[in-house]
Amino acid sequence: MVHIKRLELSHFKSFGGTTQVPLLTGFTVVSGPNGSGKSNILDALLFALGLASSKGMRAERLPDLVNHNQGNRGTAEASVTVTFEIDEVEGDLHEWSVTRKLRVTKQGTYTSNYYINGAACTLTELHEQLSQLRVYPEGYNVVLQGDVTGIISMNAKERREIIDELAGVANFDRKIVQAKDT
């Protein structure tokens, strides 16, 4: 069993300081008034795991994800860490973490870096590791607002592609295309 145990958000969107969001096994509900940052927690998950574009995280561009109230310092930084708990062998738990840091200069240029257990990695390496946990950018590990309506209005071929994705077949199809291209 794999589950996300904790999210740590630092200066990400509406989260000014550093906030830890614990997720228990089973079902977790986040409740709060409108605009209090519930959906921003999901955006943080998409951000750290490299699963969505800035639009997917409801921002015009990546620098908009950094908390606006960081004062007048030279470089603004946002970071999110997602900690997974992996139970490979019965009772043998270990943690595995992914961090993404976004640094934005005063001029508006930015850099974005990913880390696995604190060691820098590329997005391709991260996706390779995440696919072993059956987390895919094209997958439905995170179901966003509008996704369900989208599925209902799809044609048969598009709906079939979702089943391929869920069954894990699509990943092999992508590898075949990749191998043919190289």
Write down the least CB distance from residue 14 to Mg ion, Å: 11
- Report if residue 54 touches ligand ATP, rule: CB under 6 A: no
Q: 3, 14, 19, 86: which one contacts ligand ATP (CB under 6 A)? A: 14
Decide whether 39 or 171 has the Cβ nearer to ligand ATP: 39
- Report if residue 132 touches ligand ATP, rule: CB under 6 A: no
List alpha helices for the chain, DSSP H. Answer: 38-48, 123-132, 147-152, 156-167, 169-181
Which position's Cβ is nearest Mg ion? 39
**Sign of the torsion angle spanned by Cα atoms 76, 43, 170, 23:** positive
- Report if residue 13 touches ligand ATP, rule: CB under 6 A: yes
- Report if residue 18 touches ligand ATP, rule: CB under 6 A: no
**Sign of the torsion angle spanned by Cα atoms 34, 36, 38, 43:** positive
- Report if residue 14 touches Mg ion, rule: CB under 5 A: no
Q: Which does 146 bind (CB under 5 to 8 A by kind): ligand ATP, Mg ion, none?
A: none
Decide whether 38 or 127 has the Cβ nearer to Mg ion: 38
Give the Cα separation of 54 and 123 in Å (integer): 15
Q: What residues form DSSP beta bridges with 9?
A: 19, 80
Measured in whole angstroms, how far is the alpha carbon of residue 47 from the centre of its chain? 4
- Report if residue 39 touches Mg ion, rule: CB under 5 A: yes
Cα 81 to Cα 4, 77, 160, distances in angstroms:
11, 13, 33
55 annotated to bind ligand:
no
- Report if residue 32 touches ligand ATP, rule: CB under 6 A: yes
Torsional class of 53: left (φ above 0), alpha (ψ -120 to 50), beta (otherwise): beta
Write down the least CB distance from residue 77 to ligand ATP, Å: 12
Phi, psi of 144 (to 5 degrees): -95, 165
- Report if residue 71 touches ligand ATP, rule: CB under 6 A: no
Q: Which residues bind ligand ATP (CB under 6 A)?
A: 13-14, 32, 34-40, 64, 66-68
Question: From the annotation, which residues make up the binding site?
Answer: 33-40
